[in-house]
Every structure is written in structure tokens, then in C-alpha cells.
Amino acid sequence: MSKLQPVRGTHDVVGDVAARHRRVIDTARSVAHRYGHQDIDPPIFEFTPVFARTMGEGSDVVRKEMYTFCDRGGDEVTLRPEFTAGICRAFISGGMQQLLPLKFFAFGPAFRYERPQKGRLRQFHQIDVEILGVEGPQADIEVVALAADILAELGVLEKCSLELNTLGDVESRHAYRDALVEYFSGHKDKLSEDSVDRLERNPLRILDSKDESDRALVAEAPLMADYLNAFSSDFFATVCGGLDALGIGYNVNQRLVRGLDYYTHTAFEFVTDALGAQGAVIAGGRYDGLIETLGGPATPGIGWAGGIERLAMLIDGAQSAARPIAVIPVGAAAEMRAMALSHELRRVGHTVEHGYRGNVGKRMKRADKLSAHSAILLGDDELERGVATVRDLDSGAQTEVALDAVVAHFAPALPEDETA
């Protein structure tokens, strides 16, 4: 290999991209904490059954997209393709049943072997929210509201629309599944090869098909709303009423489904047309049977995941980095004292760019390039007199400040919460 490159489907998160990612994470985490969510950081890899059971042994993710390998001890492990399964595993193995209800927030990388394209990578990053132990529709309303608040604080809510549907309870879902099997079986000769396979394993997934012939059949397929029992209808009506009360707009999309049997009731996606084909930026739903699938106790759950890359592409710009103070030593004698001064300023919360080399002119040009708001010049003469020259780089005003008073001179420049 003559030139090192990142692996296909991965990229380096640096510069403006890193700043945008950090803005998404920090905003989401702050809003989630206001809703009472605690941080959780499950391992990046788990024993393979954690994901194979929860995502469906026959699903495309498990069959084609998971990064699975045997470690040196002979155990088969998988890099996480999503967060929910690992969080539910942590709930079971950590013995958290007595702590319900629980609210979690997580973020980090996930991995799927997919065809890379805009907004879709093989190593991608997500924010994730889960509520465990709440069986009523209040949790459904709250997680949707949390997502909407995050989008609003990022300034992208108006670029997105909320698609909402119900999958009903187990009884309703089974009735709908039977209706789909009957309908699509009558048109089996027109289904794509993948959808014929799905008909046997998971007929709801046919509703997600991108194949044109499948989509024509889906347009005439039975609707979930016609198979809801009274309990499921009331549950969904409460969710819709709650979102109405909060002023959160939505579109009921009866073709929005989740294929696996442990999904029940609410399914939703915040979608945008600003990113081409990759329209979903946040997607989630209720998964009351998932923890049982992993061998845990019956525990209701609901949550969502958001794509950091996609959200980062939507926002208008990263938050401006704190403008630094440039500390510029002039001469060898001033180097250590300038280094100590930089350290003192950083300890109280200031961003400091220390001038390492070059003459004063070059260091001042670098300070200007970094948009520093002030420069502190320290040379032999200043050291002898126990002062530093402080220059306001916006106004050009310059003054001498006693060395032991420089930190106090800059103290008002930062809000209290930035020095905490």
C-alpha cells in the first residue's frame, strides 16, 4: 500500500466536523439530563447473541451487516450495530430491576457493514435515549418530546417532520401479521425475492421494501388501524393527544413499522428532505418484549436513536470555540514564566494558546489567525519589572499588568459555568 487511507465507510472526525459532532452530543446530553436521564456507556462489543436475538436471526443486519469475529479466547463477539440491546443487557446483568423506572442517555460509535453513502457510514455515531419500566403512554409522549426539544435546540426542528404510527399490542399485531400474510401470499408471484423470504419470516418488513413492484403491492396492503383492538386504539389516541397538548406536530404514517415481534404500540421517526435519500435523523419506538427476548424479566421499554452524522450535517454551524488568550514569551528567560502563566489561566477556565516559537511578529499573526481576543507579551524587560504587557486584539489597547495580577485581570472574561 503506497498511501495510507481510512477504511472504506469510515472517516476522521476532526476540525469543523468534530465541532459539529460535539455540539450534537452536548446539546442532546444537556436536554436528556433535564428529562432525568442518566448517562450509560455500554461496551462497544458484546457477545454476538445479544444482538442476534434482539435484531432477529434472519434480519439483514444480523445476516449481512454485523461485524462479528472470534476473539483470542474463542468467544464470538460483535461490534455494536445499535445501542438498545447493550443497554437492555446491562439492565439484566447489572441487576437493575429494583431501580425501575430507569432513564438512560448514551452516545458513541456503532458499526454496520453497509454500502457507504451520504449520511450512512460503516462506523457511524449515535445519540440514544431509553426509558425502561414505564408501561403507560406517558413514556411514549416524553421520549418524542425529548427528541423534539433536542432538534429545536440544535435549530433543525423546522427542517424535520414527525412520522408516527402504532403497531398495537401483541394481539393486534398478530392479527395484522396474519392479514398481511394472506394478502401478500395472493400476490407472491409479484413479490421481489427478498420479500418472498420476508413473507415467511417477517411480513411487516415487506412494508419497508424499496423494490418498485413491492411498493405497488404495499400501496394496496391492509392497514394496521383496521386491526387494532380497543386497548391499542386508546393507547395511540392518548399518545396523539399528549403530543397535541405539547404542541408537537406529527403525521400519522400507517406504513411506518418495526419488523420484530417485541415492538409494540408507538413507532416514530423524525425525517427530513434536506439530506437526500437518508431522511431519518431520529427513529424509535416501544419494545415491551425485548428484555424478555434476552432472558430478562418482563419489562416495558421505549427509546430512540439519532444519527450524529446526519444531525451534524443539518445544523447551520458549530458553536464558536472560545476565543483564546495568546501568551507570547519573548526570549529564553521568559519561557518558563510564560508557561506557568498559561497554566494558571487555563486552570481558571480560559482557553490559552501558548506561543512556542517564532519571532513576535509570527506569533502575533498566529494569534490573529486563531481569533485570540488578547495577547500577553512577556520579555526580559517585563520580567525584571514584574509585569506583563496585555494587548486587547480587538481594540488595539495595550496596558501593563503586574504578573501576580494577570489572572485576576482576565477573570471577568468567562461566565461562572465555564470555570466550574
What local confidence, expressed as pLDDT, does residue 417 receive?
Answer: 43
- The percent of residues above 90 in pLDDT, for the chain, comes to 64
Least confident of 1-10, 194-203, 260-269, 313-322: 313-322
What local confidence, expressed as pLDDT, does residue 418 receive?
Answer: 43
Is the pLDDT score of 101 beyond 80? yes
pTM comes to 0.86
What local confidence, expressed as pLDDT, does residue 213 receive?
Answer: 87
Q: How confident is the model over 220-240, as a mean pLDDT?
A: 95
Looking at residue 230, its amino acid is A
Is the pLDDT score of 314 beyond 90? yes
* pLDDT tens-place string over residues 62-100: 778 899 999 999 999 999 999 999 999 999 999 999 999
Q: Please list, residue by residue across 84-109, b when 16 or more beta carbons sit within 10 angstroms of its beta carbon and e when fewer do.
A: bbbbbbbbbeeeeeeeeebbbbbbee
Least confident of 126-135, 235-244, 322-331: 322-331
Give the span between the Cα atoms of 50 and 41, in whole angstroms: 16
Q: How confident is the model over 235-255, as a mean pLDDT?
A: 96
* pLDDT tens-place string over residues 209-222: 888 888 899 999 99
The closest alpha carbon to 325, from 394, 377, 382, 373, belongs to 373
Is the pLDDT score of 305 beyond 90? yes
What local confidence, expressed as pLDDT, does residue 416 receive?
Answer: 44
Q: How confident is the model over 318-337, as a mean pLDDT?
A: 83
- Using CA atoms, how far residue 111 sits from 62, 288, 347, in Å, is 12, 25, 37
Least confident of 28-32, 123-127, 359-363, 416-420: 416-420
Q: Which of 113-127, 130-144, 370-384 has the highest mean pLDDT?
A: 130-144
What single string gives the DSSP state of each residue in 144-185?
HHHHHHHHHHTT-GGGEEEEEEE---HHHHHHHHHHHHHHHH
Is the pLDDT score of 58 beyond 70? no
Q: Average model confidence (pLDDT) for the chain? A: 90
- How sure is the predictor about 175, in pLDDT bands with cuts at 50, 70 and 90? very high
Q: Which of 37-46, 47-56, 261-270, 374-383 has the highest mean pLDDT?
A: 37-46
Is the pLDDT score of 261 beyond 80? no
Looking at residue 110, its amino acid is A
- List the domains of the chain with CATH numbers: 15-169+229-314 (3.30.930.10), 325-418 (3.40.50.800)
Is the pLDDT score of 170 beyond 50? yes
Is residue 407 left, alpha or beta, with left meaning phi > 0 and alpha meaning psi from -120 to 50? alpha
- Using CA atoms, how far residue 263 sits from 11, 168, 266, 301, 404, in Å, is 33, 9, 8, 9, 64
Residue 42's SS3 state is: coil
- The percent of residues above 70 in pLDDT, for the chain, comes to 94
Give the span between the Cα atoms of 161 and 147, in whole angstroms: 12
